[in-house]
């Protein structure tokens, strides 16, 4: 049966986050240089955005570049930045047509001038789109995000804008880069690695984790559908008992 028909529209994850891993290994397997894997990975990004939009996922977050990735060889970092600019330019029309809002999380100040400018422009141009929010995590590290939230909160308590004893989980939520998107329901990591790698640590508190051996450049619409179907067959208890849930 068509995998899409197996999706239960009433039980869709509100937010899917993906650690797109395995580009380098994919390239090596083909006898190519690592950056070819990133270029191929761009197609999987497009396929994934399309299928998520099609089945009605409201929030999709992609881990495109971590704070640690700045330490990769300069050539690879430059290629990733170039790819980002190129794909933003290429996709903006389809974001508008498909009512997709582009969003970014991470320390964007570290991005080189050109990618940063293109990115901020694309974010501005799509800000009123409502069907889906596509968030790219760029120069992103979750601990850094939490530190930055703590700093903002401390500033507010020092200035008297916020009462320290009134700090709740919601206060933390509101000061993270993800303040305007819901918590992650389904976290996918490709390439067989089973790690979180400093991605959305706070936001995945109750997420279902899905690991697949598929390398990111080989990841297709069917693979995304399989992950969603797998998620829908799980029982999410949020700390309660099975009887309480049913």
Site membership for ligand FPP, residue 115 (CB under 6 A): no
- 51, 60, 83, 149: which one contacts ligand FPP (CB under 6 A)? 83
The residue annotated as part of the active site, out of 5, 8, 21, 98, is 21
For residue 182, give the DSSP letter: P
Closest approach, Cβ 207 to ligand FPP, in A, equals 20
Give dist(CA 246, CA 232) in Å, integer: 15
Site membership for ligand FPP, residue 118 (CB under 6 A): no
Closest approach, Cβ 115 to ligand FPP, in A, equals 11
Query: For the purposes of burial, counting CB atoms within 10 Å of the CB of 124, is it exposed (0-12), middle (13-18) or buried (19 or more)?
Result: exposed
**Catalytic residue flag (residue 59):** no
Bridge partners of 136, per DSSP, are 62, 104
Q: Cβ contacts of residue 165 below 8 Å, gap of 6+?
A: none
Piece in contact with ligand FPP (CB under 6 A), picked from 78-86, 181-189, 224-232, 237-245: 78-86
Is the Cα torsion angle 12, 54, 212, 185 positive or negative in sign? negative
Closer residue to ligand FPP (CB): 87 or 178: 87
Nearest to 66 by CA among 116, 141, 176: 141
Give the residue numbers marked as catalytic: 21, 69
Residues of the shown chain interacting with ligand FPP in the complex, contacts defined by CB under 6 A: 20-25, 38, 41-42, 45, 62, 64, 69, 80, 83-84, 87, 136, 216
């Amino acid at each position: 049966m068509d995998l899409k028909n197996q999706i239960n529209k009433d039980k869709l994850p509100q937010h899917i986050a993906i650690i797109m891993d395995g580009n380098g290994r994919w390239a090596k397997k083909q006898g190519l240089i690592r950056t070819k894997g990133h270029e191929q990975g761009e197609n999987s990004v497009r396929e994934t955005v399309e299928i998520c939009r099609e089945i009605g996922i409201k929030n999709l977050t992609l881990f495109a570049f971590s704070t640690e990735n700045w330490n990769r060889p300069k050539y690879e970092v430059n290629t990733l930045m170039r790819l980002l600019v190129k794909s933003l330019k290429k996709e903006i029309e389809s974001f508008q047509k498909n009512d997709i809002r582009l969003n970014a999380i991470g320390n964007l100040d570290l991005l080189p001038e050109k990618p940063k400018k293109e990115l901020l422009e694309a974010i501005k141009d799509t800000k009123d789109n409502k069907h889906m929010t596509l968030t790219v995590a760029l120069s992103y590290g979750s601990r850094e995000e939490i530190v930055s939230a703590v700093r903002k909160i401390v500033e507010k308590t020092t200035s008297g804008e916020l009462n320290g004893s009134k700090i709740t989980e919601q206060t933390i939520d509101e000061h993270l880069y993800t303040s305007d998107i819901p918590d992650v329901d389904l976290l996918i990591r490709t390439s067989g690695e089973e790690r979180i790698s400093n991605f959305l640590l706070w936001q995945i508190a109750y997420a279902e984790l899905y690991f697949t051996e598929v390398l990111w450049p080989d990841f297709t619409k069917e693979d995304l559908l399989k992950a969603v179907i797998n998620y829908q067959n799980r029982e999410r208890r949020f700390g309660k008992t099975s009887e309480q849930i049913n």
